[in-house]
Chains A and B, each alone.
Chain A
Amino acid sequence: MPVWLIRLIVVFAAFGLLEIACRSGWIDAYTMPPPSLMLVYAWQVLASGRMTEDILLTLQNVGAAFVFAVVIGFLVGVLLHRWPRLRRAVDPLLASYYAVPVFIFYPLFIVIFGLNNWPLIAIGFLFAVVAMVINTLNGFDRVPRVFFKTARVQGFSRPAEVWFITLPAAAPYLFTGVKLCVAYAFIGVVAGEFILAGAGLGYEIAFAYNNFDNRTMYGLMVFLLVFVTVVNMALHVWERKLHARRSRGG
């Protein structure tokens, strides 16, 4: 039996058990409806169209945070790589960055930017950017030295060396950074919407929760989790392919 089939069976079995636990009343229906019903709720909420605007808004904010994080994270990574002394100095900060709950700065952003999309984008950006910095550094560190020697022997110019050697050799690691940026931008933006926002998926879930509207809450929650999982897994599979090709190519 192939591994993916077993995996599928395991996932389905987990949901099946949850379904049984809910249907048999072991988890009461108010706390959690059975997963099959959650899917129905998700479909109803999406089909009604009343959440389309919120979904698009969240996606737009995640997208903006993602783009800023990738571009700025990459540039900072390049800067730190070129300037080892600065890198050594900020290294402890980078290493402990994710131990600091970035959300605590969210209220500051609201005061600085006002209650609009920018605080959310800023929080998603802050959450994602360091992953890009770390992976950019990691990628550049792992370009084998012999590549540069070959480039020098071949008389490559500096831009040609960066374009034909450094970037392609570091690409799989850069992609890992990009992948993490997607996941972290989502986490940051949705968390910000939970804490304080007037629209968006996280806001609507929190709103439904506060109004005991379990149908909307579970429907949106399932939609969000399935959507994020599909995006992340697609990126994960792609990343594995890139890394496999690199290790084969040497």
Chain B
Amino acid sequence: MAQAQEASNSVRSERARGLQDAILVVLGILVVWQGLHWLAGDVAVSSPWATVSRLVELLLDPGFWPNVWETLYAFGLALLYALLGGLIIGVTLGGHRLSGEVAEPILVALYSIPKITLYPVILLLFGLGMSAKVAFGTIHGIIPVIIFTMNAVRNVAPVYLRTARALRMGPLSTGWRVLLPATVPEIVSGFRIGFALTLLGTLIGELFASQRGLGFMIIRSMERHDVPTLLAVSLLLFLFATLCSWALLIVDRRLNRRL
């Protein structure tokens, strides 16, 4: 009893310290930011306060929201394609040993080329607009999903599959009840990286090939030298990306610990 009490106390103090550390990190970032502002002046870095108030102004401006929805829509679509496509291709390659071995270095090579070089080709193929953005986001995000899914399926212990066969489970129920639960933790790790890269790809697509969206706002405020807007939009993206990625990380860690 006393021991349990002590353990829960130590968990609580650990949590309190974690919170304290997080606050310190945020404060540290703000201090560095403010310092950069003093160092470089208003032309380069608007102060944290000016940026946040600009962001609030943007969020209250009804003209801002169509840009947010545009980006979210493109990103959501690209993410859907990257995840579904990556899952299907990954399971196929992982299920067949030889094709997996043949494909892996090709995938690694594709993963590490600067895909931004391909943007003229994407524009020529898809034209300006939504489809080019979605295509750009998808090609960035799909490869890590394929790689992680493939490795996850490949590493499923053969005894699971033999048991499924012994129990006379069909391929569908094997996939749903055995393969999926066994591979979910690794696939979630792949999704996490795929999520980040899809966002990156979609935004790059918007920088070059769009008349709307947050990426377009970034490039426009770059051209107009509107630093507060540039930083406010960047801050919004940073917060969105960090929060989503953090949530995925928690899911990821919980799933990986369970095994």
Contacts and interface: CB of A to CB of B under 8 A. Distances in A.
A228 interface: yes
A242 to B, nearest CB: 15
Contacts of B231: 108
A5 to B, nearest CB: 10
A89 B20 CA distance: 9
Contact of B249 (A95, A107, A108): A95
Given A194-B119, A205-B117, A31 B124 contact: yes
Main secondary structure of the interface of A (DSSP, over half): helix
A46 interface: no
Given A3-B101, A6-B98, A101-B204, A92 B199 contact: no
B130 interface: no
B124 A104 contact: no
A7 interface: yes
Contacts of A233: 105, 108-109
B196 A99 contact: yes
B116 A96 contact: no
Interface residues of A, number: 50
B120 A209 contact: yes
Contacts of A143: none
A34 to B, nearest CB: 14
Interface residues of B, number: 56
A164 B246 CA distance: 37
A145 interface: no
Interface stretch (A73-81, A150-158, A217-225): A217-225
Interface string A6-38: 110011000000000000000100111000000
A76 to B, nearest CB: 14
Interface in A88-112: 88-90, 92-93, 95-96, 98-101, 103-105, 107-108, 111-112
Given A7-B102, A187-B116, A190-B114, A85 B21 contact: yes
A205 B114 contact: no
A160 interface: no
Interface in B74-104: 98, 101-103
B105 A183 contact: no
A98 B203 CA distance: 13
14 contacts: A3-B98, A32-B124, A92-B242, A98-B196, A99-B195, A99-B199, A99-B244, A111-B40, A112-B44, A183-B112, A190-B114, A190-B116, A191-B116, A206-B120
A41 interface: no
A89 B21 CA distance: 5
A236 interface: yes
A90 B102 contact: no
B171 interface: no
- Shortest Cβ-Cβ A-B pairs, 3 listed: A96-B245, A89-B21, A111-B44
Given A31-B124, A89-B21, A112-B44, A104 B116 contact: no
A195 interface: yes
B244 A105 contact: no
Interface of A: 3, 6-7, 10-11, 27, 30-32, 85, 88-90, 92-93, 95-96, 98-101, 103-105, 107-108, 111-112, 180, 183, 186-187, 190-191, 194-196, 202, 205-206, 209, 217, 221, 224-225, 228-229, 232-233, 236
Interface string B43-60: 111000000000000000
B197 interface: yes
B87 to A, nearest CB: 20
B204 A100 contact: no
B114 A187 contact: yes
B124 A228 contact: no
Contacts of B203: 101, 103-104
Contact of A228 (B40, B106, B114, B125): B114
Interface stretch (B147-155, B160-168, B174-182, B233-241): B233-241
A152 B188 CA distance: 40
B10 to A, nearest CB: 15
Contacts of A180: 112
B24 to A, nearest CB: 6
Nearest to A1: B98
Given A98-B197, A99-B199, A7 B114 contact: no
Given A104-B234, A190-B116, A7 B105 contact: yes
B251 interface: no
Given A89-B22, A99-B242, A224 B117 contact: yes
B117 A3 contact: no
B207 to A, nearest CB: 7
